[in-house]
Structure 1
Amino acid sequence: MEPIDLSLAIVTYNNSKIIKDTVISLVENIPADYSYKLYIIDNESKDNTLDIVRKIEGNIEIVELGVNKGFGYGHNAILDVINSKYHFVVNPDIQIENSDQIKNMIEYLDKNQEIGMLSPLILSPDLSIQYLCKTNPTVFDMLIRRISPNLFKQRQDKYVMKETGYNKIMKLDYATGSFMVFRSDIYKKLKGFDDAFFMYLEDADITRRVNQISQAIFYPEARVIHAWERSGHKSLKFAKITVLSMFIYFNKWGWKFI
């Protein structure tokens, strides 16, 4: 298979309401001088997500897993076929405003070979900042966020690095999985995500592993729009998944309580 400039991956599960806008936004805003392939990896959707994707023009490949083993497992399904310089992990609720955003990310990575993974500025649809850069989590940080966004507010603000202003390039301990750009050789060297995590904290885990062999950075000079839903706060099912992910994460990296 011929090497390409960019590979992009979206893992879908019953995303029929949002997938069309996301895929079109990506395909239309990849700069024309970059070769690309967009993988849509489906975790056994029961709706018409894939019917919608099939009607969209672009270099798109659908991977039907026929099973739902989570976010990391889905992304890892294409690990052996990625043959790109840079690999994008993209949520199904992301919008790219124009081709300059992707171009800025790639040009920065081209000039800074020590960077293995980049996280851009993530904005809400109203263009307010989503504070998704974090320090390495502790049990305390995780628990107070689950209880209330207003509990120990100063501590929570520190956890999401609000004091930085989100206006300068900086190293990251914990980047959001909603939009990540990897140097593909680093991503493959890490063997992608740890699929022991069904959902939640696999992004914290992979950021730590990037930093063991390279650097993860926040790059606010490019931005994406993210229609963010914190499902872990809305459902007992997702709360249970979050707790399980916490056990997996802290068993792996050590139990830091405060």
Structure 2
Amino acid sequence: MKTTSAPHSETAGLSVSVVVYQPDVEQLTSTLASLGSACDTLRARRPNLPLELYLVDNGGLPDTAAALNVLRAHGIACAVISGHGNVGYGCGHNLAIERSDSHYHLILNPDIDLASDALKQALDFFDAHADAGLITPWIGDEDGRQQFLCRRYPTLLDLFSRGFLPSRLRQLFTSRLSRYEMRDCINARDIVWDPPIVSGCFMLFRTPVLKQLAGFDARYFLYFEDYDLSLRAHDVTRVVYAPAVRVLHHGGGAARKGSAHIRMFAVSAYKFFNRFGWKWL
């Protein structure tokens, strides 16, 4: 394993980790560009804030030199962590988390585009709410419609009906899925404290909280590592949905990605329920 161009570490800064495996180069470039724009807006408010990016290569990283050089030109220290193979999503982020000594750490998917003021809004929220340790944002899809990625504790029926049923059958479970997705309280306006589970596509932590949790549980290769981390986070801090922090998410569910992803989803779901308790209906 190797880290190239290791960034500086200062306790007042913001670090970001992005884990990739054979990523779509166009989308990854878009994600990095939006991160750069959000960092520019943040720096306008906090000109001396150290910023660092860890790009974790689990395999198949395309040539990103130009995109990283643009970020460096904007004062963002960039490192590529590679040579460890495909260790999974959570373990990949852990490689960056263990290197970081920032005050804040952002776990970011390579299929997320940040609003230009997303990081500014998030750090302003942290400044105003000392009890908050993990922020989850308003998340939209490619058409700008809200995705409801905060969750109550799932049942097996919730997971199956949401992830694998065709849309016409899924309509039979509209009421219970709305409850699972917290549609009764998650909206574009209201701050919601302590949603039980939040999405791993964008998790902004106070880094000491994340280190206290020892990052992701390495037993999950893909899927449910964010459910696990969310539930453990409630033991040490407060989790908050802050809709002023906005991102767009271009990702898709396991069922649309083929049989290998369905198998990984099932294996991780088994590990999750074995740890936190089974709920069937």
TM-score category, normalised to shorter length: over 0.9
- Following the alignment from structure 1 to structure 2, what is the Cα–Cα distance between the partners of residues 52 and 142? 40
- 1:213 equivalent to 2:236? Answer yes
* Residues 45-56 of structure 1 aligned to structure 2 (within 5 Å): 45=60, 48-51=62-65, 53-56=67-70
What amino acid is the match of 1:126? D
Pick one of 7, 26, 32 that aligns with 2:15: 7
- Taking the TM superposition and a 5 Å limit, the aligned residue runs for 1:103-252 are 103-148=120-165, 149=167, 150=170, 151-166=172-187, 167-170=189-192, 171-252=194-275
- 1:191 is aligned with what amino acid? A
How far is 1:221 from its partner?
Answer: 1.5
Aligned residue-pair number: 256
TM-superposition CA deviations, 1:186-217 (whole Å, max 9, x none): 00000000111111111111010000111111
One-letter amino acid matched to 2:241:
F
CA spacing shift, 1:160–1:65, aligned 2, 3 Å: farther
- Residues 5 and 36 of structure 1 are in contact (CA less than 8 Å); yes or no, is this contact kept in structure 2? yes
Q: Report how far residue 57 of structure 1 moved.
A: 3.3
**Residue in 2 that maps onto 1:27:** 36
- Is the 8 Å Cα contact of residues 8 and 39 (structure 1) preserved in structure 2? yes
Does the aligned pair in 2 maintain the 1:9–1:41 contact within 8 Å?
A: yes
Match of 1:43 in 2: 58
| C-alpha RMSD over aligned residues | 1.6
Unaligned runs of 5+ in 1: none
Counterpart pick for 1:17 among 4, 26, 49: 26
> How big is each residue's C-alpha offset from its partner over 1:64-92, in whole Å with a ceiling of 9 and x where there is no partner?
14310210010001222111111000000
1 CA distance for matches of 2:31 and 2:267?
30
Matched-pair contact (CA < 8 Å) for 2:163–2:254? no
TM-score where L is the length of structure 1:
0.93
Counterpart CA distance in 2 for 1:165 and 1:3 is 33
The amino acid of 2:158's aligned partner reads: D
Kept after mapping to 2: 8 A contact 1:119/1:181: yes
1:143 Cα deviation (Å)?
1.7
> Partner amino acid for 1:24?
A
Give the drift of 1:251. Answer: 0.7
Aligned-partner Cα distance in 2 for 1:176–1:208: 12
Which residue number corresponds to residue 57 of structure 1? 71
Partner amino acid, structure 2, of 1:14: Q
Identity rate, percent: 28
Equivalents in 1 of 2:254, 2:99: separation in Å? 31
Counterpart residue identity of residue 38, structure 1: L
Q: Give the stretch that moved more between structures: 77-86 or 173-182.
A: 77-86
SS at 2:86 equivalent? coil
Q: What TM-score does the superposition give when structure 2 sets the normalisation length? A: 0.86
Q: Is the 8 A contact 1:19 1:49 kept in 2?
A: no
1:41 alignment partner AA? V
Letter in 1 for 2:101: N
1:35-72 Cα shifts (integer Å, max 9, x gaps): 21011001021x52545555543221111143102100
**Quick check: 1:38–1:60 contact (8 Å CA) kept in 2?**
yes
CA distance in 1, matches of 2:173, 2:234: 29
Give the 3 Å change call, closer, same or farther, for CA 208–49 of structure 1 in structure 2: farther
| Residue deviations 1:224-255 (CA, integer Å, cap 9, x gap) | 11112224333111000000011110111111
SS of alignment partner, residue 77 of structure 1: helix
